[in-house]
Amino acid sequence: MKGQKHQNAERKEHYTVYIFSEEEIRNVTEVNETALELIEEGFQKLAKGEVTMPPILRVDIPENNGEVDVKTAYVKGMDKFALKISSGFFNNSEKGLPSLSGMMLLFSTETGFPKAVLQDNGYLTDVRTAVAGALAAKYLAKQNMQTAGIIGTGTQARYQMRALMLVRDVKEVLVYGRRHERVKEYIKDMEEDLNIKITAADSAEQVVRQSDTVITTTPSKTPVINKEWLHPGLHITAMGSDAEEKNEISPEVLGAVDRLACDSKTQVFRLGEHHHALEKGVIQKNSDIAELGNIALGKSNGRKEENEITFCDLTGTGVQDTAIAVYAYEKLIEAEKGLLFTE
């Protein structure tokens, strides 16, 4: 059935759904310039009001320490839109399974009919999340970057660092994680991957104090970065928080930096670091906070001087999902991949 072509009338084609496996998807998409361009374009359209992005639908399954998020976005002019289901079940590790999983669906924006199931187990989310980090660094990190710091040692700690390399010529990496074994693994894997020197830091404080850019990638519910450690030229991207209770950055940090940025104000006010800073009264909703799309359009300022301190809050948006899923779909069809499912 693989690669089967539909020869029937147009009507039949509307009932055709492709199913793609994680392996197929991994073979055609990666963290690269093209992905970065697509995500940048997506954020620009979001800023121009050309995207309909409803609030995230969330189901909690507390009995199993689980949560499921559904995100979607319709981008005007695109012939498909994505719906993404991503889940985090934090007892899975006891079963020897990854905590995170997920899939994306593509629907026609002309007929509403389903077009594809991308059974990616969260891979496309990793890619689009990483390149959003690269986009933040592109406009907000200092140009002359000696040391990049990473807090956390999981999948995004890897993808974010790969993505950062797309936009800055990093000389060395400092990594901090709570579990020594995992830090060692990170260093081993990533030194080979990036061909760069990576050093283990003793603390998050050391990472922040000694890095030009820091990316936090943890699911922490208590801040891992404090205001006292900030220094001229620093940029921080916090990508770990995507839910009310998560909080990687001390709220005071948001009051102390020169420039605040985010992927979507609506989302960070509810789910991101800005949410906690709002609650503490450190910032207000009408504070000067730039959305990435407006920065990319030149309507809001990114970094203006090398010694500014900047901060970007990423919660992950449906427009990123639609952009990456449509791109993957086109590459997969071009490569004649997928299982064709016809009524």
Residue numbers of the site for a second copy (CB under 8 A)?
Answer: 1, 11, 14-15, 17, 19, 21-23, 52, 54-61, 63-64, 66, 68, 70, 72-74, 76, 81, 83, 85, 87-89, 92, 95-97, 101, 103, 105, 107, 109-114, 117, 119, 121, 339, 341, 343
3-class SS shares of the chain: helix, strand, coil, % to 5: 40, 25, 35
- In the three-class reduction of DSSP (H, G, I as helix; E, B as strand; rest coil), residue 232 is classed as coil
Which C-beta is closer to a second copy: that of 15 or that of 228?
15
CB of 21 to a second copy, least distance (A): 6
Which C-beta is closer to a second copy: that of 109 or that of 301?
109
CB of 75 to a second copy, least distance (A): 10
Which C-beta is closer to a second copy: that of 22 or that of 41?
22
CB of 115 to a second copy, least distance (A): 11
Which C-beta is closer to a second copy: that of 96 or that of 281?
96
- In the three-class reduction of DSSP (H, G, I as helix; E, B as strand; rest coil), residue 74 is classed as strand
Q: Where are the strands (E) in the chain, listed by range? A: 17-21, 51-52, 57-61, 66-75, 80-89, 100-108, 114-119, 147-151, 172-176, 197-200, 213-216, 235-238, 259-262, 289-291, 310-313, 339-341
Side chain identity at 78, as an amino acid letter? M
CB of 77 to a second copy, least distance (A): 9
- In the three-class reduction of DSSP (H, G, I as helix; E, B as strand; rest coil), residue 121 is classed as coil
Distance CA 154, CA 175 (A): 11
Give the residue numbers annotated as catalytic, written as ranges.
84
